[in-house]
């Protein structure tokens, strides 16, 4: 026996202690089950808040200032919410505890001035100093600069061109819009309309931000610099193309502009149907509202009214409390009912809620009602595939995704529906759709197939770091778990291809990158669950190395945590304050790797038990009073946009506790 094995045996919890603890585990599972069931909506779904950074409130203020609209009281509350999260150094961060972000800080500074805060206010003085120390306005991303242009604070000629003619490229052309990610597509098409129309609203001089230009606005070179170390590079090619586009704009050589605008308008209007707004995501919805007004749609046009209504639905009114003496208003980037419902139903099913429980059936029927039955953008690369699958929100028919589809299938496998034949047919359609969306390398992206042309990252307006939707191991791991639940094995060549993709992506330390959750803890747990479910040998070195990495990054308090900073510095992977969701992911990963006896498992379970609240929920927040904020364990766009799913902290711990209980029962 090796020294490592001896250590594992010597530190393994004794059966007596485990038997005594199982009563606590059972009680915690029951409390968690009852809490989650109490959160179910009358229609059968679950939907927790989706929290993001202060950009949402800043953009909300910008939009209503530009369009001279909005409820003044709501705007004041949005401003109060935004100011809650200013850092000590004057900046704003894209996740709690993170460094200041230049684009976000400029937006918040400008929005504060639009709401009447004076430049000599100490909060703005401190913010201004930080912004100037970090490059000033010119260091912002393209989307921020475009919004500044509309209110006269930046020059359209200095912003990377987003010509609407891009919608005219045929689908077979290398640079067509379906080669960029679905979310970038839905953001950029209306933004191209805005760029073409160049809206402008003059604001009072005291609300301007000329003071945020290093050396003064008149002395700043606004053009993006060429890469002189690599003259013949894709970056320089696109910069030259950008400057040519600006020259054509200046001399009004735009022969296809009218046709392009018509095509962009038609594209946008089609995707406003059967949807909670364009793409059902905040920036696309906001851009669509501005684009419609730029195209001449009036305030009382049904399209504008509906687009505004869907946008305002993302808002949450926060009444005054003891911690927050003043009411505030905050925006969500989107809503997550299909995702949360699928996660909760699966966790409840694993936790022993009967398959024929009426609440489970009601949730299943609600999910079945959300099945996609129309072809969307995904069909450009899978034209012969029948529609199927699910999206993330209440309505988003053009954009189902492989991750939600896999999770809904997992949830449906836990429900015995009286409409058994119908549920079976829906599930089979979804599985066939999933296979049709598998990428050439064996993995799965989220919304599109083979959306991985790296050249697009060199386009000047691609500085939001989200132009592509390549295959990822976290989604691929979840899909493997789903396929195993529906009888697929390693004998299937498509499964074999997926496994090869996953193994090829493993990091040297044994972990896997997490694209849609923070970060390596998320990717590693989903891969291990997928491999276990599909029958991959737990004794293989790839699995055991991953398990060892999870044990290695456990915190001294027994939990696990990782901050969004690991996307910027991979050396900090697995490092961060312990959270319920990430502790659950680590435990689920270890259990999937066959580790049910290590001290790491015992300590992690104790961490969850000790921190469960009396009502069966867990807390995942930092700060006190007005600065209290949920920790972000969800990922929108790495290094750009992060999320706090408020239900993660509840359904993932339930899944982990249930998995631990089953492991103990098998071992006894």
**Three-class HEC string of 481-519:** HHHHHCCCCCCCHHHHHHHHHHHHCCCCCCCCCCCCECC
Give the pLDDT mean for 175-188. 95
Q: What pLDDT digit, counting tens, does each position of 250-266 carry?
A: 888 889 999 999 999 99
Output the average pLDDT for the chain: 93
Is the per-residue pLDDT at 455 higher than 70? yes
Q: What pLDDT digit, counting tens, does each position of 348-379 carry?
A: 999 999 999 999 999 999 999 999 999 999 99
Give the pLDDT mean for 10-38. 74
What contacts 263, CB < 8 A, 6 or more positions away?
A: 164, 167, 168
Is the per-residue pLDDT at 219 higher than 80? no
Under the banding of pLDDT at 50, 70 and 90, the label for residue 19 is very low
Is the per-residue pLDDT at 465 higher than 70? yes
First to last CA, the chain: 23
Q: What pLDDT digit, counting tens, does each position of 380-413 carry?
A: 999 999 999 999 999 999 999 999 999 999 999 9
Under the banding of pLDDT at 50, 70 and 90, the label for residue 627 is confident
Residue for token digits 């295959």?
471
> Using CA atoms, how far apart are residues 218 and 227, in angstroms rounded to an integer?
24
Give the pLDDT mean for 305-311. 97
* Ranges 25-39, 222-236, 579-593: which has the least confidence: 222-236
Exposure b/e, 211-236, CB count within 10 A at least 16 = b? bbbbeebeeeeeebeeeeeeeeeeeb
Residue 6: what pLDDT?
Answer: 34
* Ranges 191-205, 212-226, 272-286: which has the least confidence: 212-226
Residue 616: what pLDDT?
Answer: 98
* Ranges 120-124, 187-191, 217-221: which has the least confidence: 217-221
Q: What pLDDT digit, counting tens, does each position of 538-594 carry?
A: 999 999 999 999 999 999 999 999 999 999 999 999 999 999 999 999 999 999 999
All structural domains of the chain, each given as residue ranges with its CATH number in brackets, are: 1-38+527-668 (1.50.10.20), 51-331 (1.50.10.20)
Q: Is 607 helix (H, G, I), strand (E, B) or coil?
A: helix
Is the per-residue pLDDT at 447 higher than 80? yes
Q: What pLDDT digit, counting tens, does each position of 114-140 carry?
A: 999 999 999 999 999 999 999 999 999
Q: Which helix (H) or strand (E) holds 249?
A: helix 234-250
Residue 221: what pLDDT?
Answer: 62
The DSSP code sequence of 406-460 is: HHHHHHHTT---SSHHHHHHHHHHHHHHHHHT--TTS-B-SSSSSB--GGGGGSG
Phi, psi at 499, each rounded to 5°: -65, -45
Residue 225: what pLDDT?
Answer: 67
Is the per-residue pLDDT at 107 higher than 50? yes
Return the higher-pLDDT residue of 442 and 21: 442
Say if residues 33 and 654 touch (Cβ distance below 8 Å): yes
Residue 224: what pLDDT?
Answer: 64
pTM, rounded to two decimals: 0.94
Two structure tokens written together for 483: 């396929």
Residue 120: what pLDDT?
Answer: 96
Under the banding of pLDDT at 50, 70 and 90, the label for residue 16 is very low
The proportion of the chain whose per-residue pLDDT surpasses 90, expressed as a percent, equals: 84
Residue 115: what pLDDT?
Answer: 97
Q: Is 93 helix (H, G, I), strand (E, B) or coil?
A: strand
Residue 253: what pLDDT?
Answer: 86
* Active-site residue identified among 53, 59, 340, 403: 403
Is the per-residue pLDDT at 223 higher than 70? no
Give the torsion sign (CA, 187, 189, 193, 195): positive
Residue 466: what pLDDT?
Answer: 85
Residue 565: what pLDDT?
Answer: 97
Give the pLDDT mean for 284-303. 97
Is the per-residue pLDDT at 656 higher than 50? yes
Residue 588: what pLDDT?
Answer: 98
**403 catalytically annotated:** yes
Say if residues 409 and 482 touch (Cβ distance below 8 Å): yes
Under the banding of pLDDT at 50, 70 and 90, the label for residue 4 is very low
Residue 657: what pLDDT?
Answer: 97
The proportion of the chain whose per-residue pLDDT surpasses 70, expressed as a percent, equals: 95
Report helix angle 420-436 to 402-412, nearest 10: 150
């Amino acid at each position: 026996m090796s020294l490592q094995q001896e250590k594992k045996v010597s530190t393994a919890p004794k059966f007596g202690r485990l038997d005594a603890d199982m009563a606590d585990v059972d009680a915690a599972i029951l409390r968690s089950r009852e809490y989650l069931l109490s959160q179910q909506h009358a229609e059968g779904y679950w939907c927790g808040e989706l929290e993001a950074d202060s950009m949402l409130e800043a953009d909300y203020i910008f939009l209503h200032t530009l369009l001279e609209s909005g409820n003044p009281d709501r705007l004041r509350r949005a401003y109060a919410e935004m100011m809650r999260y200013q850092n000590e150094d004057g900046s704003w961060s894209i996740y709690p505890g993170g460094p200041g972000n230049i684009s976000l800080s400029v937006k918040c500074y400008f929005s504060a001035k639009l709401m009447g805060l004076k430049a000599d206010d100490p909060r703005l003085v401190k913010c201004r100093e930080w912004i100037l120390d970090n490059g000033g306005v010119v260091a912002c991303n393209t989307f921020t600069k475009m919004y500044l242009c509309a209110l006269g604070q930046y020059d359209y000629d200095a912003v990377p061109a987003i010509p609407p003619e891009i919608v005219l490229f045929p689908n077979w052309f290398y640079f067509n819009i379906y080669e960029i990610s679905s979310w970038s597509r839905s953001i950029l098409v209306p933004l191209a309309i805005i760029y073409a129309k160049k809206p402008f609203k003059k604001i009072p001089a005291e609300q301007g931000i000329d003071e945020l230009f290093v050396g003064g606005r008149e002395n700043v070179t606004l053009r993006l610099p060429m890469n002189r170390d690599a003259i013949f590079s894709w970056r320089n090619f696109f910069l030259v193309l950008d400057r040519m586009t600006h020259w054509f704009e200046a001399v009004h050589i735009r022969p296809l502009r009218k046709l392009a605008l018509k095509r962009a308008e038609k594209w946008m209007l089609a995707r406003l149907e059967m949807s909670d707004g364009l793409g059902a995501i905040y920036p696309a919805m906001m851009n669509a509202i501005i684009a419609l007004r730029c195209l001449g749609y009036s305030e009382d046009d049904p399209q504008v009214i509906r687009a505004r209504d869907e946008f305002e639905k993302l808002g949450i009114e926060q009444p005054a409390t003891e911690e927050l003496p003043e009411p505030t208003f905050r925006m969500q980037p989107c809503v997550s009912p299909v995702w949360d419902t699928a996660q909760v139903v699966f966790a409840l099913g694993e936790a022993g809620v009967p398959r024929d429980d009426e609440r489970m059936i009601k949730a299943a029927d609600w999910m079945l009602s959300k099945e996609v039955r129309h072809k969307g953008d995904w069909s450009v690369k899978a034209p012969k595939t029948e529609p199927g699958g699910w999206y993330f929100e209440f309505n988003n028919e053009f954009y189902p995704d492989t991750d939600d589809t896999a999770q809904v299938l997992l949830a449906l496998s836990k429900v015995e529906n009286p409409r058994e034949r119908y549920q079976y047919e829906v599930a089979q359609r979804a599985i066939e759709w999933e296979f049709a969306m598998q990428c050439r390398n064996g993995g799965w992206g989220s919304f599109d197939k083979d959306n991985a042309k790296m050249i697009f990252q060199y386009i000047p307006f691609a500085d939001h770091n989200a132009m592509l939707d390549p295959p990822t191991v976290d989604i691929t791991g979840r899909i493997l778990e789903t396929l195993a639940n529906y009888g697929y094995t390693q004998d299937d060549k498509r499964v074999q291809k997926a496994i090869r993709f996953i193994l090829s992506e493993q990091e040297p330390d044994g972990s896997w990158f997490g694209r849609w959750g923070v970060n390596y803890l998320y990717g590693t747990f989903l891969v291990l669950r997928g491999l276990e479910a599909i029958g991959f040998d737990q004794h293989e070195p790839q699995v055991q190395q991953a398990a060892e990495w999870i044990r290695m990054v456990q915190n001294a308090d027994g939990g696990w945590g990782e901050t969004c900073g690991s996307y910027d510095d991979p050396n900090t992977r697995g490092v961060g304050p312990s959270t319920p969701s990430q502790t659950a992911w680590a435990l689920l990963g270890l259990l999937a790797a066959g580790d049910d006896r290590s001290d790491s498992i015992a300590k992690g379970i104790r961490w969850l038990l000790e921190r469960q609240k009396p009502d069966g929920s867990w807390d995942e927040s930092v700060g006190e009073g007005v600065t209290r904020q949920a920790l972000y364990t969800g990922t929108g766009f790495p290094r750009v946009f992060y999320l706090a799913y408020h239900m993660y902290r509840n359904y993932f711990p339930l899944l982990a506790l249930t998995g631990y209980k089953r492991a103990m029962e098998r071992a006894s």
